[in-house]
Amino acid sequence: MLLFFHKPSIIDFDGHILNTEINSRGRLTGGHSIANGNINVISKATPNAQGVYEAKISVPDPKNPNKTLTKDSTMFPDSWNADRIKVEVDAAYKTKSIVINSNGQSMWEGITPSGVKVRGYLEPNTTVYPLMK
């Protein structure tokens, strides 16, 4: 009996996209979905045709539980659960293009089956975030 396994992309979904991280400079990064329920949206702009929107988010400060950390973030559609984000982004990653950002870093770009344009870093971890356009 042959078994075939779907090899997903190497994207850091659980650490960066569905949650937040604090980078080496002490800045809050990630947080592109409310699917896990641990990201609080403080304010939200009108979603585009695909449901992507810009938001100010907050999460508890891990070093000071009485405070919160905030950042501006682009968000995947609220109707997408974690599994859908992974499937959609994996499909976009399979047909990705490599682009160079204004800092000279290599990034990847793709379009999900639902038409959401995404972009992400390749190093130090492979990440992704939705684009408004």
pLDDT band at 52 (very low <50, low <70, confident <90, very high): very high
Mean pLDDT of the chain: 89
Query: What integer pLDDT is reported at residue 6 of this predicted model?
Result: 47
Question: Exposed, middle or buried, 68 (CB in 10 Å: 0-12/13-18/19+)?
Answer: middle
Q: Pick the more confident residue, 103 or 9.
A: 103
What average pLDDT does the segment 68-82 reach?
A: 95
pLDDT, position 5: 47
Whether the per-residue pLDDT at 45 is higher than 90: the answer is: yes
Domain-wise residue ranges, the chain = 13-130
Q: Name the residue among 104, 94, 114, 101 with its Cα closest to residue 11.
A: 94
Share above pLDDT 70 across residues of the chain, in percent, rounded to a whole number: 93
pLDDT band for position 8 (cuts 50, 70, 90): low
pLDDT above 90: residue 125 = no
Whether pLDDT at 129 is above 70: yes
Task: Work out the average pLDDT over 21-25.
Answer: 81
Backbone torsion region of residue 51, taken as left when φ is above 0, otherwise alpha when ψ lies between -120 and 50, otherwise beta: left
